Structures are given as C-alpha cells and as structure tokens.
C-alpha cells in the first residue's frame, strides 16, 4: 500500500490532499461505500438500489498504470491462448445459466412474499396489508397507498424472473441487500446462491 503523494507527487501537502479528494478514483471509492452508511442511517427505509453503486469499484480496473498494465497484458495473453479452445464461451454459458436458474428459484420463493413490496411514494406503508395477484401486481390501496392513476405506487421486486435477476446478480457478486426480508425458503436459496458465487464466480 502507498500514500497518495507516493503515487503522485502532485498529491503532496494540504492542497494536494484536497486535489486527491476530488479525483476520479476517490469519487468512485466514495460512491462505493456511501450506500452502506445510507442503509445504516435509514434503517426503516428500503433502498436496495443503493447497493448497485458498489459496482462502480470495477472502474478502478481501468487505471492503466503500473501493475495494472502488466495485469491487462497477462489477461490478453490468456485470452489469446483460450480463444480457440472454447473455454471462455463455455464459462460464459455456465455463468448465464446459473444466473437465470437462480433467478427463477428466487422468483418462485419470493413472488408472494409481502416483505419484497417496494413503495417509493409510501415508504411507511404496511406491506402486510397489500395484496399480490397471480401476475405479481401489487395493490396497496387497502393499506392507504393509492397511486396517481398513471403508475402503480408499489411494486414487487420479485414479480418476475427478469426483475429477480437484478438482485440475483447482486447476490452472485457477494451483496445480499434483502437477506433479512427473505422468506425461509428464500434464505435457503440465498445460501445456495452464495455457494455458487464462490465456486463459479469468485474462485475463477
């Protein structure tokens, strides 16, 4: 590890530190950790989308200097060796298949779970008083949350396999923002998803 001024002398001193605070990678780091503090401060609020901001950390891989240049060179060499073997295509197929299958299981387990209802216009609504039809559409009018007529005020985050795929992808990358709201079956699936995440995503 190195201090900022050891990487770039322009970051030395007080003015240099201030310059580093508004640099691109500092902002990326800030955006990746702020969601955790937001969720910690707003305990009673449902803000699952904030977890997606942590994916901004991946942009640090585009820093083309020092060891990163060597890393990208090694990746190019590996890609050239595997290009004709079909290994990358098989790995991509397996990864997408795991993603879709896990999303389907999440959908089956959570589609009738009222704790997965998200009401941005009525954050304090009693979701247990809402109803969910067979198509996954949510009606919270009985709980006092009525829309403006143009769009539904509440929706279910696992109303379909495509909608479940977003949270499944977060789980496969090691983030479990809704684990406390899952049903017992959903928690069991989350455990299985975490094993797949380690075996097929993290280790390679």
Mean pLDDT, range 147-164, rounded to an integer: 78
118, 155 contact by CB (below 8 A): yes
Q: Is the pLDDT of residue 47 over 60?
A: no
pLDDT digits (tens, 9 = 90+) for 2-15: 566 566 677 777 78
Buried-state track 21-54, b at ≥16 Cβ within 10 A, e below 16 = eeeeeeeeeebbeebeeebeeeeeebebebbbbb
Tell me the pTM: 0.57
Phi, psi of 138 (to 5 degrees): -105, 135
Q: Where are the alpha helices (DSSP H) in the chain?
A: 4-7, 13-21, 24-41, 67-82, 87-110, 161-172, 184-196
Q: What is d(CA 115, CA 157) in angstroms, rounded to the nearest whole number?
A: 9
| Element holding 117 (H helix, E strand) | strand 117-118
pLDDT digits (tens, 9 = 90+) for 188-198: 988 888 887 87
pLDDT bracket for residue 76 (50, 70, 90) = low
pLDDT averaged over the chain? 75
Mean pLDDT, range 133-158, rounded to an integer: 76
181, 45 contact by CB (below 8 A): no
Phi, psi of 27 (to 5 degrees): -65, -40
């Amino acid at each position: 590890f190195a201090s900022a001024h050891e990487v770039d002398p322009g970051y030395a001193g007080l003015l240099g530190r201030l310059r580093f605070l508004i640099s691109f990678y500092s902002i990326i780091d800030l955006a990746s950790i702020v969601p955790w503090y937001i969720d910690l401060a707003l305990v009673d609020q449902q803000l699952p989308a904030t977890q997606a901001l942590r994916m901004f950390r991946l942009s640090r891989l585009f820093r083309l200097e020092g060891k990163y240049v060597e890393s990208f060179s090694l990746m190019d060499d590996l890609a050239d060796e595997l290009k004709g073997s079909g290994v990358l295509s098989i790995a991509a197929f397996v990864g997408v298949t795991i993603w879709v299958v896990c999303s389907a299981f999440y959908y089956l387990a959570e589609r009738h779970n009222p704790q997965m209802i998200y009401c941005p216009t009525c954050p304090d609504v009693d979701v247990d008083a809402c109803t969910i039809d067979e198509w996954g559409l949510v009606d919270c009018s009985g709980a006092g949350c009525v829309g403006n007529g143009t769009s539904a005020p509440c929706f279910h985050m696992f109303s379909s396999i495509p909608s479940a795929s977003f949270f499944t992808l977060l789980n496969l990358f090691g983030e479990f923002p809704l684990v406390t709201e899952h049903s017992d079956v959903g928690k069991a699936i989350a455990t299985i998803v975490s094993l797949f995440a380690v075996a097929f995503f993290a280790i390679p």
